[in-house]
Structure 1
């Protein structure tokens, strides 16, 4: 099963950019949590901590498609160095403002600056794989690998930042995340040979790619899936806490990510004859159906088992989704297109956390899993409503980049 993954790294530079990307994407699961841990320790105000963390997440989600567009136009290396500088200024300012008791508005300003300096690293790495293996079966394996690495970050990142913040020093968690992320971004910036070739201004004129055929449908589906992720996480935390097993929270969520990672490994090593868009529809349907399982358990251990089973639906669905984005988007703007997909997940997750938390307070943790079912329903309805738009046209019918851009106005 591991042979296809070993073959990915037969091209020089692939292992280096994959490792750099792994370090840089540590922010995915740590910055928001680290902000909450730091501010709650300093101020004892979880409400303020949540709002500042939400500011970072929202700004990062909104700015990343524009960063992706600039990356396609000027090259990843020219964007990553300024991004690392902005991220450094923002995050270190946030830490300093927190520990010195600066006014609350400075925390929000620093969080916004931090978000502006955080590109969608996963999209940058996937664009590099697409440059090397587009049109081959290895791209499917590469996207599966990226999904597994995402899950690994979500398993290890929170453990790292929580342990450092609570056991070493209240600033240690965010400072460690800053060091790892900046190291990864600078290392990735130095690797020019494997980055996608930048395209000139003539390839980037016109409206945003969100208006392109199929990508708008994909964005809405990803919003629903993001809501599923966010609501499941916050309701699971509440469920475990209310059951009196709070120390098991990380383990319970870890089983969910573990199921996804294992499924991603198997999925990436398997060759399919089913069309990509059909596999995506099957995956979205499976994720939606799996949400109903969460309404069943009344104790932590059955919930852990069902989360593990549900996790098997995640990575194959996301891998198929990113494959669809690669097939639908103009090659000159691939990073931007992938970033719109990840932005949809991030925005959906932000809303899912908020709505799921409200549902826990109003109806209890067990009933609050209905918000997860609702999010999955939105994703499934959007996927089937736009199914025809998700089917990539045959290569001989697929227009060249200029024609793709002309279509944006329709």
Structure 2
């Protein structure tokens, strides 16, 4: 709800999708830069310790941003206020995925894939409901109503999630009793390849949000943008259900490459759609291609990184999506202001095409490495040996 509500509010107060996209982009960049640090702190000190102050600060930041927008303050003030609003976005999704990974440690890979698909489906349910609710509130109640609801729901949901202590894993500091420094997530080569893939997925989300809103405005039906984006997210959710129910014979690297090729191809004809049915149909197909790429990427995260940096790694993925979304809403906003919504739809195509090229080049880093195991010494053994 955050990005689309922000775009609709700022466009209402400034009259420019370019300005609205820039403000929304600042929140995305700020989140992308701060989310991994929050994930690292959660791995070390516990999720509750990081989450509770985060949701309070986020709600307060959103309230300040609303006040500045309604007061029609200069653009620089909106951009400055967008920084804390994005930096404090609670990383509940990565935290939930880290809990799933801890609960299923040692389980069969197909069960891990199913859990990742289940989590993706619940995420996409919010992507179905969120844009529709935000658009309805912004266009039918008040331009700031969407952001008000986002802040309130984030605060309530964050507090309720933090109260669920029975599923949280033991923080690394508590588990060892001492401060333990672990390598950062980006030191794992495969994580960098996945980050590039998730950047491209972020451009799909950001480009679709701005371009769909602009398209609905052009045809004189602003309320339909939430419905169109809901159809896109519904396709994503439906694909997640099907994908998680299948026991795949192919490895996750091949599945990721195949699903990403399909996503890039699905984005190709979006710019040529000029009617609601055509755009809805193409959006549905695009959504169907997003979930497999996301789910497989999250499955690879669990296989590539140690548990000590799992939450941090998941936040890098979320941050990559946010950064890609930020770039996309900025680019799509500028293109839409100058050339119309149909040109804005080229942003998802460009983002996925570039990310696909990077992913193909770096595909060799997505192979799960067997961790070395030290054989314990017994009487008569000369010394422990490392077996790779």
TM-score (norm 1): 0.81
Matches within 5 A, 1:72-221: 72-99=43-70, 106-134=77-105, 135-136=107-108, 137-200=110-173, 202-206=179-183, 208-221=184-197
Return the match for 2:362 from 362, 386, 406: 386
- 8 Å CA contact retained: 1:33, 1:158: yes
Secondary structure, aligned partner of 1:313: helix
- 8 Å CA contact retained: 1:284, 1:383: no
Give me the CA root mean square deviation.
Answer: 2.6
Secondary structure, aligned partner of 1:204: coil
Return the match for 2:309 from 326, 333, 336: 333
Unmatched 5+ stretches in structure 1: 1-29, 401-410
Once the two structures are TM-superposed, the CA of residue 56 in structure 1 deviates from its matched residue by: 2.2
- 8 Å CA contact retained: 1:68, 1:119: no
- 8 Å CA contact retained: 1:217, 1:386: yes
Once the two structures are TM-superposed, the CA of residue 65 in structure 1 deviates from its matched residue by: 0.5
Show the counterpart of 1:343: 319
Distance change >3 Å, CA 102–CA 254, structure 1 → 2: closer
Show the counterpart of 1:7: none
Distance in 2 separating the partners of 1:35 and 1:364: 20
- 8 Å CA contact retained: 1:60, 1:116: yes
Distance in 2 separating the partners of 1:369 and 1:104: 25
Once the two structures are TM-superposed, the CA of residue 164 in structure 1 deviates from its matched residue by: 2.8
Matches within 5 A, 1:20-39: 30-39=1-10
Show the counterpart of 1:320: 296
Once the two structures are TM-superposed, the CA of residue 296 in structure 1 deviates from its matched residue by: 4.9
- 8 Å CA contact retained: 1:359, 1:371: no
Once the two structures are TM-superposed, the CA of residue 237 in structure 1 deviates from its matched residue by: 3.8
Distance in 1 separating the partners of 2:90 and 2:25: 17
* Higher RCO (Cα < 8 Å, 6 or more apart): 2
Distance in 2 separating the partners of 1:261 and 1:143: 12
Return the match for 1:353 from 329, 342, 353: 329
Distance in 2 separating the partners of 1:103 and 1:244: 28
Show the counterpart of 1:4: none
Distance in 2 separating the partners of 1:94 and 1:242: 27
- 8 Å CA contact retained: 1:83, 1:117: yes
Once the two structures are TM-superposed, the CA of residue 124 in structure 1 deviates from its matched residue by: 0.7
Secondary structure, aligned partner of 1:274: coil
191-200 or 97-106, larger mean C-alpha shift = 97-106
Distance in 2 separating the partners of 1:245 and 1:257: 20
Show the counterpart of 2:383: none
Secondary structure, aligned partner of 1:266: helix
Show the counterpart of 1:55: 26
Show the counterpart of 1:13: none
Once the two structures are TM-superposed, the CA of residue 182 in structure 1 deviates from its matched residue by: 0.9
Secondary structure, aligned partner of 2:268: helix
Distance in 1 separating the partners of 2:341 and 2:77: 34
- 8 Å CA contact retained: 1:147, 1:319: yes
Unmatched 5+ stretches in structure 2: 374-388
Show the counterpart of 1:11: none
Distance in 1 separating the partners of 2:48 and 2:325: 29
Distance in 1 separating the partners of 2:229 and 2:68: 32
Show the counterpart of 1:27: none
Count of aligned pairs between the two proteins: 367
